Structure 1
């Protein structure tokens, strides 16, 4: 989620046909056995389960200026609830959205929501079930976690993109000394490497990143399938991320008895072989936000296929009709053995 104001990233193209993500032929036997060996004897128990009002009462609403220079006014809990930007639906789904009904000047700021968990974490298994996620011209949503002393205590971007980008991006940001390395096995993941150096600084904040090949992973393509689940495991051996469409969510996740050893090849993998996980990641808060333009969506706007400029997009309220999170739950599990 943290980007340099001088960095201009290319709009990510669709490199592989939709559906390839779940093709069993792509699943590396070596990678599958490695994951099974690591998690074979590990069982997990729920530590925290965020659902419904939990996101309003157990997460903090960020109200400072956007650190990524977006065209947003982040709202307090009281403001967000009063304006209809944060609420719980009758079915228990939590909605966090961007204002799509107020006139805003070209280049002005639009009301939005950013929340972070009050609890912090030093590892675990994190499972997020989203019914829908934000997308649209100028829109930059992210589900991520971050430590208090960026980038020294690390950042994990599980779900992130801009505009009508077709696929998701998975990224780590760290201090010096963390990378994927030349020995990284590309067959151990289902996504494509974008960059391999996790270290982030004022001149280069790309981090180490993967692009998911499937249009089911982000935006409209994700939402028309009623969303799905993103799960990531953070332990001493590395950080591993899986993605499942609604129809393909493993039964063990639904039963709240998750077993990552049965989930196959992850979408993204950041092994500890070239990164001491414990020294680069600690005290993370979970974060959900939607910003507009800013350090990522601003520089990539011209190549996005969206009309006009990013400043003009801010003024068009219809750009934000789909700029909302609909969250079923986020569960945090700890290993029990």
Structure 2
């Protein structure tokens, strides 16, 4: 999941690959809006192939609602992502987030994505060999100020000056720029 500049336009779910993985003209069942179709990291400033969710799935609106659960299903048949806001029915295997801390999943809970409804983002293997392009993954969490994606969109965002100048001269703008996680849970199909 990614966002740029004010992070107020919703989540950007993106796949970044080498050549040979596209989502152009691919039939998908999802609630998000498809964007770039070429996943190759050397195309479109490493934008990847993207799907955008509504504002409530990321950034200020997501935070104001108390956060939520982000779920990812990764199979050779494709990769799908869901974002469930706090208090939203998540389906079988994902326990609703408590109001203030506490357990995140019921003991013995087994996620069943077939009960979760359509995903926010769907990246089927139709024009992308998921098994070849995705393996040995790690979770990377960072805040990249003025990285390639932000630089590519900064001028059209309505933000002042240049990205570098804004960051250098407005440190207070990033006082609340952080990630907070309740848990990471990984399940493997048997």
TM-score greater than 0.5 by the shorter chain: yes
1:279 offset after TM fit, Å?
A: 1.1
Partner of 2:158: helix, strand, or coil?
A: coil
Question: Rg larger in 1 or in 2?
Answer: 1
Name the residue aligned to 2:37: 196
1:205 aligns to 2:54 (yes or no): no
More strand by share: 1
1:298 is aligned, of 121, 143, 151, to 151
1:313 is aligned, of 166, 174, 188, to 166
Alpha carbons of 1:180 and 1:215: their partners in 2 closer, same or farther (altered >3 Å)?
same
2:61 is aligned, of 213, 216, 221, to 221
1:322 aligns to 2:176 (yes or no): yes
Which structure 1 residue ranges, 4+ long, deviate > 3 Å from structure 2?
Answer: none
**Any unmatched runs of 5+ in structure 1?**
1-158
State the distance in 2 between where 1:246 and 1:323 align: 20
1:177 is aligned, of 13, 16, 20, to 20
1:280 is aligned, of 133, 136, 139, to 133
Name the residue aligned to 2:5: 163
TM-score (structure 2 length as normaliser): 0.84
State the distance in 1 between where 2:110 and 2:83 align: 17
Alignment of 1:220-259 (within 5 A): 220-250=60-90, 252-254=93-95, 255=106, 256-259=109-112
Alpha carbons of 1:285 and 1:232: their partners in 2 closer, same or farther (altered >3 Å)?
same
Superposition RMSD in Å = 1.8
- Work out the number of aligned pairs and report it: 175
Name the residue aligned to 1:332: 186
1:185 offset after TM fit, Å?
A: 2.2
State the distance in 2 between where 1:210 and 1:248 align: 21
Is the 8 Å Cα contact of residues 313 and 319 (structure 1) preserved in structure 2? no
CA distances 1:76-122 after superposition (whole Å, capped 9, x unpaired):
xxxxxxxxxxxxxxxxxxxxxxxxxxxxxxxxxxxxxxxxxxxxxxx
Is the 8 Å Cα contact of residues 16 and 48 (structure 2) preserved in structure 1? yes
TM-score (structure 1 length as normaliser): 0.49
State the distance in 2 between where 1:258 and 1:233 align: 10
